[in-house]
Amino acid sequence: MAALILVLGDQLTDSLPVIAGAVKSKDTILMAEVREEATYVKHHKKKIAFLFSAMRHFAAHLRDNNYQVNYVHYTDEGNQGDLLAQVKHTLSRQHFDEVKVTVPGEYRLLKSMQQWQNQLGIPVTICEDNRFFSTPNEFSEWADGKKQLRMEFFYREMRRKHNVLMDGKNPIGGKWNYDAQNRESMPETQKVPKHTTFAIDDITSDVIELVKSEFSEHFGDIDNFHFAVTRKDALSVLNTFIEERLPNFGQYQDAMVEGKPWLYHSHIAFYLNCGLLTPKEAIQAAEQAYHAGQVPLNSAEGFIRQILGWREYVRGFYWHFMPNLKTDNYFDNSRALPSFFWDAQTNMNCMRQCIKETQQNAYAHHIQRLMVIGNFSLLTELSPEEVQAWYLLVYADAYEWVELPNVAGMILYSDGGNLASKPYVASGSYINKMSNYCKNCGYQVSKKTGPKACPFNYLYWHFIDKHKEKLSNNHRMAMIYKTYGRMKEENIETMKQDAAIFLTKLTNDEEV
């Protein structure tokens, strides 16, 4: 019995059951740089370069370990352009008794794979992805009968089940969550350790040339590529983070600093989400550092919560609510993305910085994504479909299973509150508190109305006013609506007028 084993670009983990269980003398692993997956949205140039290079390095690693690998390069004459056609082509040239795949990270692709057996005429086995702590079925069992599916409670279940940062039945330190200690702004004198970078080798150099020639119209810069593209280098990124940046990660994880995109963050989502690292080893490294006295509890817990809590939660949430999650539009928003989402040409310095850094690095940290770009997207009523596509294509760690719940549920509240307990909107004062962006802005954060006022200020109250029927009964919005209720009607009207002027400019794609 010979099996054709398909390995996707985000499944670069040799402990996956389909790889670990392969019979090296009989089975063949198929990997392909397929046109459809690279272009159905115009992924960031660095994202494509990262994944193609990581795939090529992983294929070389498998061959070094005596696996039979059929690797299809993007420009190969035999490249069929999509996964099913590539599998059919391979089966036509070599006999196999079955096809094996791992559950993909996209609903669209899973539904396609579930039809492959009928289309191919041979058995197709879809194997579980064992790289997560929980399965979609476990999430659905946890969610069953609950009125609210809050990540915090799912996270506690994960902590208990997997005995992470636990003292018997209780959390170490007496608290489950130290997020309140993780919201400090960055002092100007703070010296942040340099993020980990790598020189490009011949494989990566070839891929970069490919991207320049085949994906020149895609978003983003390709220069200064420095990602890890092997497991060895990805482990180096993790270990350096644990040693140099995790001690201060907790208190500064929400901070934003102009010209400093990397800060104290781990930058391992690239490698977790494509499989070069596993979540278990990242969590174990942080927990061991805490027990060794190398990092404070708020840093270790905050980092672990992002993986064991949030990452596991959004994966379960994605599969639980698809396919409706992709088309939900609670606020009926439909405005097209303004052109500065592509070129960063705006007078709003916070948006300019976050989009420019995204353009340069295929990366922005979670507060930049949520409370600057995401906050603006919700306040300005941008189309969920367009915003979702943008987030999927611009970030090198973005795959639909992780991108869509974050954007639809957390950023846009387009699912009506299944994920978030309230919309994550804020005025300019939040951005001013957590960053130094406002110092070099074309607007003034201290002004609430008028042509020089920070747009976030009047857009925020326009949002609160417009959606009061849907949101005023939300208990987490109670204080906001009390403040709104005390505001003078003329002030509300002035802010609504300023918002209308600004939104009209966006609709006309004028400079803002």
Q: What average pLDDT does the segment 306-323 reach?
A: 97
Q: Could you write out the DSSP letters of every residue in 469-493? A: HHHTT-GGGHHHHHHHHHS-HHHHH
- Band (184; pLDDT cuts 50, 70, 90): confident
Q: Give me the CATH topology for the region 136-195+229-320.
A: 1.25.40
The span from the CA of 405 to the CA of 412, in Å, is 10
Q: What is the pLDDT of residues 502-511, one digit of tens each?
A: 999 999 999 9
Does 181 score more than 90 pLDDT?
A: no
How many CB atoms sit inside 10 A of residue 273's CB?
A: 22
pLDDT tier, 474 (very low <50, low <70, confident <90, very high otherwise): very high
Type of residue numbered 284: Q
State the span(s) of the chain assigned CATH 3.40.50.620: 3-127
For residue 147, the model assigns a pLDDT of 87
SS3 256: strand
Q: pLDDT tens, 233-278?
A: 999 999 999 999 999 998 999 999 999 999 999 999 999 999 999 9
| In the chain, ranges of CATH 1.10.579.10 domains | 340-507
Residue pair 405/317 in contact (Cβ under 8 Å)? The answer is yes
Q: Which residue has the higher pLDDT, 37 or 341?
A: 341
Residue 249's pLDDT is 92
Task: Kindly state the tokens that stand for 247.
Answer: 């001690």
Residue 26: the pLDDT is 96
Instruction: Identify the CA nearest to 276 among candidates 64, 60, 13.
Output: 13
Phi, psi values for residue 204, rounded to 5°: -65, -40
- CB-CB neighbours of 416 under 10 Å: 13
* % of the chain at pLDDT higher than 90: 95
CATH top class, domain 340-507: mainly alpha
Outline which parts of the chain fall under CATH 1.25.40.80: 136-195+229-320
Give percent helix, percent strand, percent coil of the chain, each to the nearest 5. Answer: 55, 5, 40
- At residue 32, what are phi and psi to the nearest 5 degrees? -145, 140
Confidence of residue 40 (pLDDT cuts 50, 70, 90): confident
**Helix, strand or coil, per DSSP, at residue 419:** coil
Average pLDDT of 163-173?
95
Residue with tokens 């990997």: 31
| pLDDT tier at 309, thresholds 50, 70, 90 | very high
Residue 182, pLDDT score: 76
Question: What is the percentage of the chain residues whose pLDDT exceeds 70?
Answer: 100
Pick from 390, 399, 403: which is nearest to 359 by CA? 390
pLDDT for res 38: 81
- Asked if 335 contacts 324 with a C-beta cutoff of 8 angstroms, the reply is no
- Is a pLDDT exceeding 80 seen at residue 456? yes
- Burial group, residue 376, by CB count within 10 angstroms (0-12, 13-18, 19+): buried
- Would you state the pLDDT for residue 36? 85
Tell me the chain's radius of gyration from C-alpha atoms: 24
Q: Do residues 356 and 337 lie in contact, with contact meaning Cβ atoms separated by under 8 Å?
A: no
When comparing pLDDT for 17 and 186, which is higher? 17
On average, the pLDDT of the chain sits at 96
**Each residue of 348-405: pLDDT tens digit?**
999 999 999 999 999 999 999 999 999 999 999 999 999 999 999 999 999 999 999 9
User: Whose structure tokens read 């919005």?
Assistant: 477
Ordered alpha helix ranges (H), 292-383: 297-304, 312-321, 340-343, 349-361, 366-367, 375-379
- Asked if 299 contacts 249 with a C-beta cutoff of 8 angstroms, the reply is yes
**Mean pLDDT, residues 217-245:** 97
Band (183; pLDDT cuts 50, 70, 90): confident
Please give, one letter per residue, the 3-state secondary structure of 57-68: HHHHHHHHCCCE
pLDDT at 83: 95
Burial class (CB in 10 A: 0-12, 13-18, 19+), 496: middle
The DSSP bridge partners found for residue 166 are 171
- The answer on pLDDT for 39 being more than 80 is yes
Annotate 381-405 with DSSP letters as a single string: TB-HHHHHHHHHHH-TT--HHHHHI
Statement: residue 339 has pLDDT above 80: yes
Q: Which amino acid is at 263?
A: L
List the structure tokens of 224.
């200064």
pTM, two decimals, is: 0.95
Burial of residue 301, with CB atoms counted within 10 A of its CB: 0-12 exposed, 13-18 middle, 19 or more buried:
buried
Closest CA to 353 of 361, 344, 362: 344
Note the pLDDT of residue 37: 83
**pLDDT-derived band at 67, boundaries 50, 70, 90:** very high
To the nearest 10°, the Cα dihedral for 198, 254, 458, 439? -70
Which residue type does 29 have? I
Residues 6+ apart with CB under 8 A from 346: 338, 340, 352, 355, 511, 512
The CATH superfamily of 3-127 is HUPs (3.40.50.620)
Output phi, psi for 171, to 5 deg: -70, 140
Determine the pLDDT at residue 330. 97
CB 270 within 8 A of CB 364: no
- The whole-number pLDDT of residue 413 equals 97
